[in-house]
């Protein structure tokens, strides 16, 4: 069997498994976690776009997620917009803000850029916490509504139920991955990767790198905004705690762990970041140390991440199997 065929079969199996998941996983608690993980896939794909592809580490992803979450919530709860419309508007609002934020900050590189994005996240967090007449501050906003049911033919897609919302999250995660795949395989994607590898060279070749960087930044923020909207309407209660700097660090961890610059890496990373704390609850106190240790050693020893490591391991294994006759 050729490699592309194996890949296609693998993908088909994955799709079938994803569609059938609610039949196997029935405990509400695990369904809850899977939905959160899928929302994080959207977030991590965005992070991967700016960090993995373009090589600019942004520490603002959780902040943008917050912008998306509050936009959608305020539009639907305070202004009475239909939930679907509010959720669709959230990535747009976030992207617009990202243009404003990115325009000046993408003028600087490396450390400076990372620190500025960190400052952005802190500003967003403080504003969300302090402007309580708008956001409810720490006490937050309750009763964030679920989208209304969709009836197609005789079937009803009930978004009040966990299973119904699972399919929404799944669709969004798939869309986010698809979007990043399209970007990666386009000319834009090639420029981004070139920027990561040697920005000076590509500028010397006459490419206006800041436009491409801005695009990556804005799309990445838009995806964060979408993740935020999905999150807010899922949990039903919104408060700024989920959008602090530590969550941006988790997004960075997810990308590094899963595999920078790959498409499946962020998926693996997102699930790892959501599920690990639940399994490490017993070692809750050690979690930060473990995460930090993983980040440090991964950067030193396997800077390309888990997925490429596993992939190359599998390839080596396949090569060895082919050489040894049954």
- Would you tell me which residues interact with other proteins (CB under 8 A)? 27-29, 32, 55, 57, 59, 104-105, 107-108, 110-112, 114-116, 118-120, 122-123, 126-127, 129-130, 132, 137-140, 142-143, 235-237, 239, 241-242, 245, 249, 252, 256, 285-296, 299-300, 303
CB 248 within 8 A of CB 61: yes
Closest to other proteins by CB, 93 vs 141, is 141
What DSSP state is assigned to residue 238? B
Closest to other proteins by CB, 57 vs 307, is 57
Nearest distance from C-beta of residue 45 to other proteins, angstroms: 19
Nearest distance from C-beta of residue 139 to other proteins, angstroms: 5
Nearest distance from C-beta of residue 140 to other proteins, angstroms: 6
Closest to other proteins by CB, 89 vs 113, is 113
Q: Tokens in use for 269?
A: 């990373």
Cβ-count burial 56-89 (b if 16+ within 10 Å, e if not): bbbbbbbbbbbbbbbbbbbbbbeeebebeebbeb
Nearest distance from C-beta of residue 291 to other proteins, angstroms: 5
CA-closest candidate to residue 35, choices 173, 211, 216: 173
CB 265 within 8 A of CB 259: yes
State the first-to-last Cα distance of the chain, in angstroms, to the nearest integer.
16
Tokens 């206006």 correspond to 208
Closest to other proteins by CB, 93 vs 249, is 249
Which backbone phi and psi does 118 adopt, to 5 degrees?
Answer: -60, -45
Q: What angle do CA 68, 222, 251 make, to 5 degrees?
A: 85
Closest to other proteins by CB, 82 vs 292, is 292
- Secondary structure in 3-state letters for 9-31: HHHHHHHHHHHHHHHHCCCHHHH
Nearest distance from C-beta of residue 22 to other proteins, angstroms: 15
Closest to other proteins by CB, 14 vs 134, is 134
Nearest distance from C-beta of residue 188 to other proteins, angstroms: 21
Q: Tokens in use for 8?
A: 């296609």
Neighbouring residues of 133: CB distance < 8 A, sequence distance ≥ 6 = none
Closest to other proteins by CB, 69 vs 89, is 69
CB 91 within 8 A of CB 226: yes
Nearest distance from C-beta of residue 101 to other proteins, angstroms: 9
Q: Tokens in use for 213?
A: 């960087």
Tokens 């079937």 correspond to 155
Nearest distance from C-beta of residue 38 to other proteins, angstroms: 16
Q: What is the DSSP string of 240-263?
A: GGGGSHHHHHHHHHHHHHH-TT-S
Closest to other proteins by CB, 92 vs 140, is 140
Tokens 């240790």 correspond to 293
């Amino acid at each position: 069997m050729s490699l592309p065929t194996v890949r296609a079969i693998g993908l088909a199996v994955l799709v079938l498994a994803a569609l059938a998941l609610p039949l196997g996983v029935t405990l509400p608690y695990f369904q809850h976690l899977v939905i959160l993980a899928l929302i994080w896939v959207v977030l991590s794909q965005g992070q991967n776009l700016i960090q993995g592809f373009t090589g600019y580490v942004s520490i603002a992803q959780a902040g943008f997620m917050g912008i998306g979450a509050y936009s959608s919530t305020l539009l639907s709860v305070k202004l009475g917009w239909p939930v679907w419309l509010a959720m669709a508007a959230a990535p747009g609002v976030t992207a617009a803000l990202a243009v404003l934020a990115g325009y000046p900050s993408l003028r600087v590189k490396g450390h400076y850029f990372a620190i500025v994005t960190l400052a952005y996240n802190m500003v967003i967090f403080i504003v969300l916490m302090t402007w309580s007449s708008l956001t409810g501050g720490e006490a937050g906003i309750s009763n964030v509504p679920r989208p209304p049911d969709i009836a197609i033919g005789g079937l009803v897609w009930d978004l009040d139920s966990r299973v119904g919302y699972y399919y929404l999250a799944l669709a969004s995660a798939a869309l986010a991955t698809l979007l990043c795949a399209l970007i990666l395989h386009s000319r834009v994607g090639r420029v981004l990767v070139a920027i990561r590898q040697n920005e000076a060279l590509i500028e010397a070749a006459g490419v206006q790198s800041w436009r491409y960087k801005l695009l990556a930044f804005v799309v990445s923020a838009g995806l964060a905004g979408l993740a935020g909207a999905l999150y807010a309407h899922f949990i039903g209660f919104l408060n700024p705690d989920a959008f602090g700097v530590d969550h941006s660090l988790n997004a960075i961890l997810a990308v590094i762990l899963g595999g920078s610059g790959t498409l499946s890496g962020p998926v693996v990373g997102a699930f790892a970041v959501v599920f690990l704390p639940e399994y490490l609850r017993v070692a809750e106190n050690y979690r930060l140390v473990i995460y930090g240790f993983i980040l440090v050693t991964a950067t030193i020893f396997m800077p390309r991440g888990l997925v490429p490591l596993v992939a190359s391991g599998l390839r080596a294994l396949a090569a060895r199997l082919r050489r040894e006759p049954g």
